[in-house]
Amino acid sequence: MSRIGKKPVELPSGVTASVSGQTIEIKGPKDTQSFTATDDVTLAVEENVVTVKPRGMSKRARQQWGMSRTVVANMVTGVTTGFKKELEINGVGYRAQMQGNTLKLSLGLSHEVNFEVPAGITVTAPKATQIIVEGTDSQLVGQVAANIREWRKPEPYKGKGIKYKDEYIFRKEGKKK
């Protein structure tokens, strides 16, 4: 039995949900999002609560049960408060700046990296060594942050590269003579 799937998702004030077939649409102050669930689960909205129930007890139905409930809960959080990932840049000469809808990264490569920001995501660089990725879709925010980090992952000897703000980089000792 899914422990997460059993919990109902409460809708805060200002958020409405409507179900049509297997698609749920959630409207809030920041955005409107929709999710189409598989045929293994049933979505229901009563008063200010969204419930997800499995159809049968097959392994796939139980997997989809918890996942669908989590996606709905993330949509509710996204349309009310949004999601945010903070990245830090460490390294001499490594910097970032926004120019229009493009993030320009100087990462010690032979060229500057121009990262196009997708629609629905806001990227800011308040300092030359800090990048903030914000949006209403949890998955898209995480993917954009991971794509930016992919350009120069932190290395274990000096810690140079792009890392998440709360990430710990395991440090290694260098060569000995």
DSSP 24-68: EEEE-SS-EEEEE--TTEEEEEETTEEEEEESS--HHHHHHHHHH
Residue 88 CA to residue 105 CA, distance in Å, equals: 12
Please write the tens of the pLDDT for every residue from 130-170.
999 999 999 999 999 999 999 999 999 999 999 999 999 99
Rounded average pLDDT over 14-41: 93
Please write the tens of the pLDDT for every residue from 72-116.
999 999 999 999 999 999 999 999 999 999 999 999 999 999 999
Residue 138 φ then ψ, to 5°? -55, -45
pLDDT at residue 3 above 90? no
Residue 52 CA to residue 70 CA, distance in Å, equals: 10
CB 16 within 8 A of CB 27: yes
Sign of the Cα pseudo-torsion (144, 150, 154, 160, in order)? negative
Average pLDDT, the chain: 94
Q: Give the CATH architecture of domain 83-164.
A: Alpha-Beta Complex (3.90)
CB 151 within 8 A of CB 91: no
Q: What band does 38 get if pLDDT is binned at 50, 70 and 90?
A: very high
Global model pTM greater than 0.75: yes
Residue 133 CA to residue 83 CA, distance in Å, equals: 8
pLDDT of residue 176: 85
Strand blocks (E) in the chain: 9-10, 16-20, 23-27, 32-36, 41-46, 49-54, 83-90, 95-99, 102-106, 113-116, 121-124, 130-135, 161-164
Q: Outline which parts of the chain fall under CATH 3.90.930.12.
A: 3-80, 83-164
CATH number of 3-80: 3.90.930.12
Q: Describe the strand order of the beta sheet including 95-99 as a list of residue ranges.
A: 95-99, 102-106, 113-116
